[in-house]
Chains A and B, each alone.
Chain A
Amino acid sequence: EIVLTQSPATLSASPGDRVTLSCRASQSVSTRLAWYQQKPGQAPRLLISGASTRATGIPARFSGSGSGTEFTLTISSLQSEDFAIYYCQQYKNWPPVYTFGQGTKLEIK
């Protein structure tokens, strides 16, 4: 099973800040990695797939990078609506056991 480790667990930041969230895979997933955002009481929303491709309607301030085992999600200028929990997910496995990271909570400083 591929294990995804996200860091930090919690990140405190202010509106306007640039932040970077990390996701490390226990083995290479190539670029088969996605990022999701989840707000309280809501279902997750896909932000990034293929490690760096923004999903439809996702603002350009969100960007993803990485390949192999090291990935990052960067938010260039935090908006108030960006404070949420972020999860990475790998989808390299076959059979399709698609594991998630444990999440990074982005909170207002």
Chain B
Amino acid sequence: EVQLVESGGGLVQPGGSLRLSCAASGFSFSSYWMAWVRQAPGKGLEWVATMSHDGSLTYYVDSVEGRFTISRDNAKNSLSLQMISLSVDDTAVYYCVREDHSTYIYWGQGTLVTVFS
């Protein structure tokens, strides 16, 4: 069974940093592109970042470029999102997702990041 379990969310002040992690199991992690998708409270879905299966390619939504870094450790079946210079606009539930032909079949349960002043 495919499982994606996020951790690392919490409360942080504007300008602060946070690192999210996603533990993957039940599939060959190193074979799949992975992504982060977020959802602000009461709002819609927003793709945040994507990393290729081998970590050689990364892509970001413009609003996080230069502040967020997606990374992976294929030996540990884990995906991470390092977030710096956080603003209130980054408040959201962050989902770890597996890309299957560019769509998202498997999602984690999400981890809430709250940036408060």
Within 8 Å of chain B (Cβ to Cβ): is A20? no
Tell me which of A38, A49, A99, A101 contacts B103 (CB under 8 A): A49
Verify B44–A32 contact, CB threshold 8 A: no
Verify B45–A97 contact, CB threshold 8 A: no
A93 CB, min distance to chain B CBs, angstroms: 9
Q: B residues within 8 A CB of A87?
A: 44-45
Give the size of the chain B interface in residues (CB under 8 angstroms): 17
Instruction: Give chain B's interface residues, CB within 8 Å of chain A.
Output: 44-47, 50, 59, 61, 95, 101-105, 107-110
Give the size of the chain A interface in residues (CB under 8 angstroms): 23
Within 8 Å of chain B (Cβ to Cβ): is A100? yes
Q: How many A-B residue pairs have CB under 8 A?
A: 48
Q: B residues within 8 A CB of A34?
A: 103-104
Instruction: Give chain A's interface residues, CB within 8 Å of chain B.
Output: 32, 34, 36, 38, 43-46, 49, 55-56, 87, 89, 91, 95-103
Verify A100–B102 contact, CB threshold 8 A: no
Verify B61–A97 contact, CB threshold 8 A: yes
Verify B44–A55 contact, CB threshold 8 A: no
The 5 closest A-B pairs by CB, nearest first: A43-B107, A91-B102, A100-B45, A49-B103, A34-B103
Verify A103–B103 contact, CB threshold 8 A: no
Tell me which of B46, B47, B95, B105 contacts A55 (CB under 8 A): B105
Q: B residues within 8 A CB of A100?
A: 44-47
A97 CB, min distance to chain B CBs, angstroms: 7
